[in-house]
Copies of this chain bind each other. A is one copy, B any other.
Amino acid sequence: MIQLDYRSSVPIYDQLINGIIRLKMVGAIKGGDSLPSVRALASQLGINPNTVQKAYAILEEKGIIYSVSGKGSFLSEDEKSDKAVMEISLGGFKEAVEEAHKRGISREALISAIDEMYKEEIK
């Protein structure tokens, strides 16, 4: 299930993208699986179909899913998809590292922050 945070400044379509990528990363869904239809997911989450459409379109453009008109949307199975998923997953993290680096935070400080968080199972 995808959990949306309407109060977040992160756009809903981005949260959707993240949610689907997360489901793939943790193995809840895999290549070839069909995704809920645009309308079904929209009504299930209580959001507008256009918003789901936007998320699906971006995922398709990245090669992570493919959509067939009149049939539905499916998770891609090829390598390219896995690579794209990994890239996006690490993308946000890398940006954060870059930002931290710009602020003069040392490699060690970052690693100890990670250790601390993983030790407490995050938060």
Contacts from A to B (Cβ < 8 Å): 6-7, 9, 11, 18, 21-22, 25-27, 61, 66, 68-69, 71, 89-90, 92-105, 107, 109-111, 113-115, 117-118, 122-123
Contact = CB atoms under 8 A, between A and B. Distances in A.
A107 B115 contact: yes
Contacts of A22: 102-104
Given A92-B96, A94-B113, A98-B123, 16 more contacts: A7-B66, A18-B99, A22-B103, A25-B105, A27-B104, A89-B103, A89-B105, A90-B109, A92-B100, A93-B105, A96-B97, A97-B117, A98-B117, A101-B117, A110-B114, A111-B111
Say whether chain A's binding surface is mostly helix, strand, loop, or mixed: helix
A65 to B, nearest CB: 10
Q: How many copies of the polypeptide does the oligomer hold?
A: 4
A110 B93 contact: yes
Contact of A103 (B11, B26, B100): B26
Contact of A89 (B92, B95, B100): B100
B89 A93 contact: no
Contact of A114 (B9, B89, B97): B97
